[in-house]
A and B are shown apart, each in its own frame.
Chain A
Amino acid sequence: MKKIQNLFLLSIIMMACTVNAQDNAGLRLPAGFSATLFANNIGSSRHISITKSGIVFAKLNAPNKEGKAIIRLEDANKDGIADKINGWGNYGGTGIYVRDKNLYASSDQGIFLYQLNDQDEVVNPTTPKVIVKDLIDRRQHSSKSITLDPQGNIYVNIGAYSNACQEKDRMPGSKGMMPCPILDSAGGIWKFDGQKENQVYGDGKRYATGLRNVIGLDWNTQTNSLFVTQHGRDQLNSFYPQYYSDNQNAELPAETMYEVKEGDDCGWPYVYYDPYQKKKILSPEYGGDGKKEGAPNALNPTMSFPAHMAPMSLLFYKGTQFPERYQQGAFIAFHGSWNRAPLPQEGYFVAFVPYKNGKPSGEWEIFANGFAGTEIVTNPRLAKARPCGLAEGPDGSLYVCDDNKGAIFKISFNK
């Protein structure tokens, strides 16, 4: 009898394993890839970063039920599922970045530095060093994403607290301000020293400007330069129905990726990028009509994506686990749109752009899909998970976190 019971149990376990393996945590992936649900319901997870030992750190949008907003996840038995989860930090935010024993986390106003010990546990959970403080936070586009260059300088986006720099934000007919006064302290990427304490605006440098709101940014070690993904402007057709139809609003402007060098200008708020005309079009708040071009000196994007999909994280793949065509390429986590309505929402997936020698070698493609748990998303609140953060594990697996309930997916290639 006991034997039968055991057999029965074994078959259930086997069934469960098969289901789990085929299930890929609900994701649809290219052939040869598989996924596990590394963690779930840890709280709205914005960005993640992983140590050389494989410890995952997640930054939560707001403290979870236990009042923690930085979560440490460890997979001690290496089964692809975190088995030791704890946290600290009582402030919400987006940015997190670990390099060696330095763990940086951001609130919407500043950047903090924690020290890790040999087990990659935090040493000073309540007494981090304040690296940067007093950054602008006016709610709109207030999240601060961070990345480091090889020298340890820190780059932070400071989003524009505006849609298109109108005299009155999001007011129909209100003109764009010339020059846009927001750009002196927001709407760009700022560079700070990674170790100096209590830095404010004056200690940093405006590295790149004309970026409405960047949430995804990564230092590409191949090109030795910074890449960023911008969230394009909203409401072209609700404010300018004479120039744009509902359908055009749903497709304009493109979400864009730029390679930025010091001093570069990406054109916001004066222009937006039209992926069909492949031109920088003058914003209607500045006299544009959907055709007139503007800002000739502003950068062109290195890649453009459909409108409103909201690129939340950018990661250049450094590992060798994934097949060759993925190596050195860019993964982008898209949050999914909200302002394509009345058309269905789109873009609840992770995309991939192949790169060779620092330039895109093909068009973007969907890499991982199925996060929303439903084919057609009519309202973002119906999406089960919304991809938000990306990180690469030491074995070359790709981790994706979600800022709805806080799931983390681990995607691997099995050969």
Chain B
Amino acid sequence: MKYLIQCCFIGLLSFSAQKATAQNMANGKKIYETRCLVCHQADGGGVPNMNAPLDGASNVVGNDIARLVKIIRNGYNERVALDGYYYSNAMTANPDLKDADIADVLSYIRNSWTNKASKITLAQVQKVKKK
């Protein structure tokens, strides 16, 4: 009986983890549309010279997760070089976004359009210290 309950629990856990992934993407999309889309555009293509593209951007699908988390949280106010082009607009900080929301929106961005990269977990976001 105990074994059965454990089985159920594990089953539920893995089920809920899968389910949460779809939820992550849905929540990430919602956040993207309200906070990111106006500058980075519906297709993640950004705006030449002004707002950096997210679709196909090496930094965005790269492994420096801490940098991505910091950019979402604190914004960005430097002229940024990305894949041979420069982008000059200041990015808005999002100090009110919860860590889970940051994980979701990053997961969404890293797995939308032509991007295919690992998902970002809550633990990965929590590891990045707030300034």
Which residues of A are interface residues toward B (Cβ below 8 A)?
61-62, 139-140, 142, 168-172, 234-235, 238, 249, 338-339, 341-342, 378-382, 404
Nearest neighbor of A161 in chain B, beta-carbon distance: B90
Contact yes or no, B77 A380, CB < 8 A = no
A171 with B92, Cβ < 8 A, contacts A338-B50, A381-B47, A381-B53 known: yes
Which residues does chain A contribute within 8 Å of B1, judged by CB atoms?
none
Q: Are A341 and B37 in contact (CB under 8 A)?
A: yes
Q: How far is the CA of A234 from the CA of B89 in the complex (A)?
A: 12
What residues of chain B lie closer than 8 Å to A140, measured between beta carbons? 88-90
A168 to B34, CA, bound (A): 20
Q: How far is the CA of A381 from the CA of B39 in the complex (A)?
A: 12
- In B73-122, the 8 Å CB interface with A consists of 75, 77-79, 86, 88-93, 96
Residue ranges of B at the interface with A (Cβ–Cβ < 8 Å): 33-35, 37-39, 41-43, 45-51, 53, 75, 77-79, 86, 88-93, 96
Most buried by A among B78, B88, B91, B96: B88
Could you list 15 A-B pairs, sorted by A, with CB under 8 Å? A139-B79, A140-B88, A142-B88, A235-B38, A238-B38, A338-B50, A339-B39, A342-B33, A378-B41, A378-B42, A379-B42, A380-B48, A381-B46, A381-B47, A382-B45
Least CB distance from B105 to A in Å reads 15
The answer to whether A169 and B90 have CB atoms under 8 Å apart is: yes
Give the shortest distance, in Å, between A225 (CB) and chain B (any CB).
31
Q: Are B88 and A139 neighbours in the complex by a CB distance under 8 Å?
A: yes
CB distance from B53 to the nearest CB of A (A): 7
Residue of A nearest to B48 (CB): A381
- Closest B residue to A241 by beta carbon equals B34
Q: How far is the CA of A339 from the CA of B47 in the complex (A)?
A: 9
Chain A interface mostly: loop
Instruction: Name B38's contact: one of A62, A169, A339 (CB within 8 Å).
Output: A339
Contact B93 A171 (CB under 8 A): yes
CA distance A294 to B16 in the complex (A): 54
Closest 5 CB pairs of A and B: A139-B88, A338-B47, A170-B92, A379-B45, A379-B41
Q: A139-B78, A170-B91, A172-B96 are in contact. List 10 more A-B contacts (CB 8 A).
A: A61-B49, A140-B88, A170-B90, A338-B41, A338-B47, A341-B37, A342-B33, A378-B43, A380-B47, A382-B45
Chain B residues closer than 8 Å to A249, beta-carbon distance = 38
Closest A residue by C-beta to B95: A171
Instruction: Kindly state the separation between the CA atoms of A170 and B34 in the bound complex, as whole angstroms.
Output: 14
A238 with B51, Cβ < 8 A, contacts A170-B92, A381-B45 known? no
Least CB distance from B114 to A in Å reads 14
What distance in Å separates the Cβ of A384 from its nearest Cβ neighbour in chain B? 12
Which residue of chain A has the shortest Cβ distance to B51 in the bound complex?
A338
> Which residue from chain B places its CB closest to the CB of A44 in the assembled complex?
B49
**CA of A168 to CA of B88 in the docked complex: distance in angstroms?**
17
Shortest C-beta distance, A337 to chain B (Å), equals: 10
Closest CB of chain B to A345's CB: distance in Å?
9
In the bound complex, how far is the Cα of B48 from the Cα of A34, in angstroms? 29
Considering only CB atoms, which chain A residue lies closest to B87 in the complex? A139
Q: Find out whether the CB atom of B37 lies under 8 angstroms from the CB atom of A342.
A: yes
> Which residue of chain A has its CB nearest to the CB of B49?
A61
Q: A139-B88, A238-B34, A238-B35 are in contact. Are A342 and B93 (CB under 8 A)?
A: no
Min CB distance, A215 to chain B, in Å?
13
Nearest residue (CB) in B for A250 is: B38
Q: How far in angstroms is the closest Cβ of chain B from A158?
A: 15
Contacts of B77 in A (CB 8 A): 169
Q: Are A341 and B38 in contact, with the CB atoms below 8 A?
A: yes
